[in-house]
Amino acid sequence: MTADIHTPKPDRAAPLATGGALGWARANLFGTPASAVTTVLLAVVLGWAAWRIAEWAIFNAIWEHVAPEVCKANVGGACWAFIGEKYRLILFGRYPFGEHWRPLLAMFVLVA
């Protein structure tokens, strides 16, 4: 009688993620070469746009109250100085001052 010696098969590689966010991204965003290229290009464009918006709105913006000529000369950035001065006009328009509580309450109800 001959003894059979069992030799195990080599380990297999772990399966690719098919569930969760990684599996969804692999199947939908990187499923084909065309969708992978499109995903990468859109990510680059969105990153560039986000950087340009942040540059305009935050980094090159004028925050303190200065003369209007300074804000007009700052072509590469936003001028946020007038927001603090005109916030009631921006929020309530020409609604009577004594009645501002009404649209304010409506805004809180809509947000909540």
The rounded percent of the chain whose pLDDT value lies above 90 is 46
pLDDT higher at 44 or 9: 44
Q: What digits encode the pLDDT tens for the residues 44-99?
A: 999 999 999 999 999 999 888 888 888 888 888 888 888 888 888 998 999 999 99
Which residues have CB under 8 Å from 77's CB, separation 6+? Answer: 55, 56, 57, 59, 60, 61, 62
pLDDT mean across residues, the chain: 89
Instruction: Note whether 39 and 29 are within 8 A (CB).
Output: yes
Is the pTM higher than 0.75? The answer reads: no
* Domain positions in the chain: 17-59, 61-112
Q: What is the pLDDT of residue 47?
A: 98
pLDDT, average across residues 12-40: 88
Q: What is the pLDDT of residue 42?
A: 98
pLDDT, average across residues 1-5: 74
Residue with tokens 């692999």: 26
Looking at the predicted structure, is the pLDDT value of residue 20 above 90? no
Both structure tokens of 52? 């340009």
Q: What is the pLDDT of residue 53?
A: 97
**β-bridge partners, 62:** 79
Q: What is the pLDDT of residue 1?
A: 60
Residue 39 — φ and ψ, nearest 5°? -60, -45
